Structure 1
Amino acid sequence: MQTLTKPKVINRLNRIEGQVRGIARMVEDDRYCVDVLIQLQAVRAALLRVESEVLKDHLDHCVMGALTGDDPAERKAKANELIELLGRASR
């Protein structure tokens, strides 16, 4: 992961961790189900944003490095890795 991306991702994940702990407290306190569900949706959205940031970093750094490099096996491996990753995301 690139130097500038890592602290941003860690910061976001720490915030998400706090959100999840807050949701656990909501459940323990028997909060209204709709309020819990709204917070769960917010966590999912936040995780998707982190996933998008990590994917962008991977494309900018690892995949582009392989595609512009001289090793055809590495290019093919990165392309296959990306295809597999995107296939898993669509399930």
Structure 2
Amino acid sequence: MKVEEEAQAAVLNRLRRAQGQLAGVIAMIEAGRDCKDVVTQLAAVSRALDRAGFKIVASGMRQCLNGEAEDGSQPLTEAELEKLFLTLA
């Protein structure tokens, strides 16, 4: 399965946001910031990564509904999609 072009931009945006947030968390730890602030920002990173993963899985589900992947390969099976989804849970 290849990430659809439309979904790819959204996924990359979320991953870049998570990358920036993670750099912020590292800087906060190095600066000795309060653990509550660090954990709050770390949770934001986690949510951004989860959203990127869910977008990728949703793209795969859409390919399954259409019956074919964009690159002409067979779409993921229901079991494969379920496994991917549960990986994010």
Tell me if TM exceeds 0.5: yes
Query: Stretches of 4+ moved more than 4 A in 1?
Result: none
Larger helix proportion of the pair: 1
Q: 1:52 to 1:83 in 2, by over 3 A?
A: closer
TM-score (norm 2): 0.76
Residue deviations 1:45-79 (CA, integer Å, cap 9, x gap)? 11121111111111001x22448xxxxxx68x612
- What is the total number of aligned residue pairs between the two structures? 82
Question: For the pair shown, which has the larger CA radius of gyration, 1 or 2?
Answer: 1
Instruction: Determine what percentage of the aligned residue pairs are the same residue.
Output: 29
The Cα shift of 1:17 comes to 0.3
RCO (CA 8 Å, sep 6+): is it higher in 1 or 2?
2
TM-score (norm 1): 0.75
Structure 1: unaligned runs, 5 residues or longer: 68-73
- RMSD (Å) for aligned C-alpha atoms: 2.1
